[in-house]
Amino acid sequence: MSEQPAPAVESATDAKPAEDDEQRKPTPTLLEQMGGISGLIYSSVPIVVFVLANYLFEWQVALWAAVGVAVAIAVLRLVRREPIQPAISGLFGIAVAAFITIRTGSAKGFFAFGIWSSLVYCGAFLVSALVRWPLAGVIWSTLNNTGFKWRADRSARLYYDIATLVWILVFGSKFVVQQWLYDQNNVGLLGLARIAMGYPLTAIAIAVTVWAVRKADKRLALLAAEETTPEPEAA
């Protein structure tokens, strides 16, 4: 009697790693979620177009040029199947800026929404620090569903206090500088400040937040290890 071939077990086992690989796809980095390097560049283009067009023409021309560029960028990212969320957020911001500009009848109104948004964010982070619920930790823990055990430990909470303080300084500096330029009616420098104080300062704040998360997690892991370590028995 001829031997029967062994069952094809390998095909099933080979398929499992492939499924595991799909499940273990790396989580997109924050930069990738923001649209990557191209997304950072795209977000600045409508502002640059507005400033240049306002210098060469009137604010009405500059406004519609910026809106047109923002729409074109959103369509381009959609056609290229790139992350569309950053483009939609940018388009919404430009739409609000356009509405305020039309209402105020002034080119500097284009930047009013961003200026006052910075003040609101600064106030929110400041209040959270004062009530001992530092917003840097609250937002991170909520997004990652890790809970708020860090609030029970003074050292762990201190790290998030530091990160929250950095966010307060970032948003506060944006408001102070850009509001002063707004009062000076300097649209050109307003656009430059908007770009220069945008992602660079945000990147610093994010870096400090990541540092705080790692330090807090390390502290909590150390405390958990101490709790689970059995005490030596008395002789």
- 163 and 60, same domain (yes or no): no
Residue 227 has pLDDT above 80, yes or no: no
- Model confidence over 58-94: pLDDT tens digits? 888 888 888 888 888 888 877 877 766 666 777 788 8
Residue 8 lies in a domain: no
The pLDDT assigned to 40 comes to 60
Residue 173 lies in a domain: yes
Per cent of the chain over pLDDT 70 is 76
- 187 and 142, same domain (yes or no): yes
What is the span of the domain harbouring residue 91?
Answer: 33-105
- Model confidence over 181-194: pLDDT tens digits? 999 988 889 988 98
- 145 and 169, same domain (yes or no): yes
- Please tell me the distance from the alpha carbon of residue 63 to that of residue 95, in angstroms, as a whole number: 10
This prediction's pTM:
0.73
Residues 6+ apart with CB under 8 A from 25: none
Is the separation of the CB atoms in 206 and 163 below 8 Å?
no
- 217 and 121, same domain (yes or no): yes
- Please tell me the distance from the alpha carbon of residue 174 to that of residue 181, in angstroms, as a whole number: 11
Residue 208 lies in a domain: yes
Q: 3-state class of 28 per DSSP?
A: coil
- 83 and 139, same domain (yes or no): no
Residues 6+ apart with CB under 8 A from 129: 135, 161, 164, 165, 168
Q: Which of 105, 134, 159 is the last residue of a domain?
A: 105
> Taking Cα atoms as reference points, which of 185, 38, 169 lies closest to residue 110?
185
- Please tell me the distance from the alpha carbon of residue 175 to that of residue 192, in angstroms, as a whole number: 14
Contacts 24+ apart (CB under 8 A), 137-143: 137/163, 137/164, 137/212, 137/216, 140/209, 140/213
Q: Which of 71, 105, 139 is the last residue of a domain?
A: 105
Residue 5 has pLDDT above 70, yes or no: no
Distances from the Cα of 134 to the Cαs of 4, 148, 171, in angstroms?
A: 68, 11, 15
- 101 and 147, same domain (yes or no): no
Residue located via tokens 């023409």: 57
- 116 and 215, same domain (yes or no): yes
Q: What is the dihedral of CA 96, 102, 103, 106, to 10 degrees?
A: 110
- 138 and 191, same domain (yes or no): yes
Residue located via tokens 């595991």: 20
Kind plus residue range of the DSSP H or E element containing 176? helix 154-183
- 126 and 67, same domain (yes or no): no
Residue 232 lies in a domain: no
Q: 3-state class of 147 per DSSP?
A: coil
Residue 179 lies in a domain: yes
Q: Which of 51, 76, 105 is the last residue of a domain?
A: 105
- Report the number of distinct structural domains present in the chain: 2
The pLDDT assigned to 1 comes to 47
